Structure 1
């Protein structure tokens, strides 16, 4: 699994095959089948191993923005603890950019994933949420518990090469005639003076904090 993760980190998830993994390990391809049934089984193990890298509250989950770790759920309120866990998960996922789409394609959680979810449920239950509220919270938080979100579209390509102000202004002017609100939004959220990708980390934290505030309101109903 470690060799598969390293290969995917280096060459992308499309590089994963039994043959290439065997080459990485210096063995015959057929010997890989001693350990996994097929490529899907390999991917299951790889994403579960990645999720296993995410610290839980018991391990001391520290926020990606430098927050101190918590040794147990009792060391911080539930919202702070969940925030630290989600940001710690994001720090892990950012080192394995291939992982989110593979995680989303899996049909059953592995042992590490189940342990991570159980740790999240523990924080919520010990924080005073009912079983029903905890169930709602799990659905609301969704993939943020694993450090990523599914956005409306992927603008990551734009973030690597933002347009210069003159070109951006021309594009916005063309959009404004038929799509005024998209043009307005494009201008409002420009980065460094030009159109480009969103600040994914900032948007992740904004949405996470918004959700946690909402869950606090649910708890007080």
Structure 2
């Protein structure tokens, strides 16, 4: 007699992440997920009431990867702690390059995300930041605590960073500065990216700039 592994919410979410890693986020459907788990689609609804709950759960699962990895990091001062945390989050995003698009598309904020940011606020306030300055810090960080930087030019717009030389030349007259920037900033293929202008070097540059600037403001009281 074959004993089937019990279906749990955690097992469903782990399978969902694995499916998105293998086939892309578009392939993540309740029916496809159920087929991969060897169950009927209705079985999933006992653990996740629908597609949106599934996607929120996937975000929760990804943040679980981040927090589990951060727990093994040695703490330092607040800048060192947050820098390690944000770079740890980035390593998770690079393992799941479809994840930034999913997180940016959510119209509701899963409770786990609030808890994650509450921990960041605890680090800032514990270092002497006022809640006012800590609030401004969160605005300045944007999506960086989650391991990626929002694109300057939203995907799907008219701007195409992978334009040919002829297309760049045609753009130059109307958009000389944008064209020059694009031509100079096309990254090496070996530089891990989560978007054309979200390279590892740029992520770390922006992160260090923000952390050092916030430290100056903290010292000023």
TM-score by length of 1: 0.79
The answer to whether the 8 A contact 2:93-2:147 is kept is yes
Q: Name the residue aligned to 2:9.
A: none
Matched, 1:184 2:180: yes
The one of 65, 79, 82 aligned to 1:53:
65
- Relative to structure 1, the CA distance from residue 142 to residue 175 in structure 2 (aligned partners, 3 Å threshold; closer, same or farther) is closer
Residues 163-178 of structure 1: pairs in structure 2 closer than 5 A: 168=165, 170-178=166-174
Residues 204-219 of structure 1: pairs in structure 2 closer than 5 A: 204-219=203-218
Residues 103-142 of structure 1: pairs in structure 2 closer than 5 A: 103-104=103-104, 105-111=106-112, 113-142=113-142
> Structure 2: how far apart are the matches of 1:175 and 1:32?
50
The answer to whether the 8 A contact 2:20-2:28 is kept is yes
SS at match of 2:143: helix
> Structure 1: how far apart are the matches of 2:69 and 2:32?
37
The answer to whether the 8 A contact 1:100-1:148 is kept is yes
The answer to whether the 8 A contact 1:56-1:116 is kept is no
> Structure 2: how far apart are the matches of 1:109 and 1:2?
17
> Structure 2: how far apart are the matches of 1:32 and 1:171?
48
- Relative to structure 1, the CA distance from residue 106 to residue 98 in structure 2 (aligned partners, 3 Å threshold; closer, same or farther) is farther
Unaligned runs of 5+ in 2: 1-12, 189-195
SS at match of 1:52: helix
The answer to whether the 8 A contact 1:56-1:119 is kept is no
> Structure 2: how far apart are the matches of 1:36 and 1:184?
48
What is the CA distance between 1:108 and its match in structure 2?
2.2
> Structure 1: how far apart are the matches of 2:69 and 2:128?
17
- Relative to structure 1, the CA distance from residue 217 to residue 16 in structure 2 (aligned partners, 3 Å threshold; closer, same or farther) is same
What is the CA distance between 1:175 and its match in structure 2?
3.3
SS at match of 2:65: coil
Matched, 1:85 2:85: yes
The answer to whether the 8 A contact 2:125-2:131 is kept is yes
Residue correspondences, number: 198
Q: Name the residue aligned to 2:10.
A: none
Note the aligned Cα RMSD (angstroms).
2.6
TM-score by length of 2: 0.79
- Relative to structure 1, the CA distance from residue 172 to residue 37 in structure 2 (aligned partners, 3 Å threshold; closer, same or farther) is closer
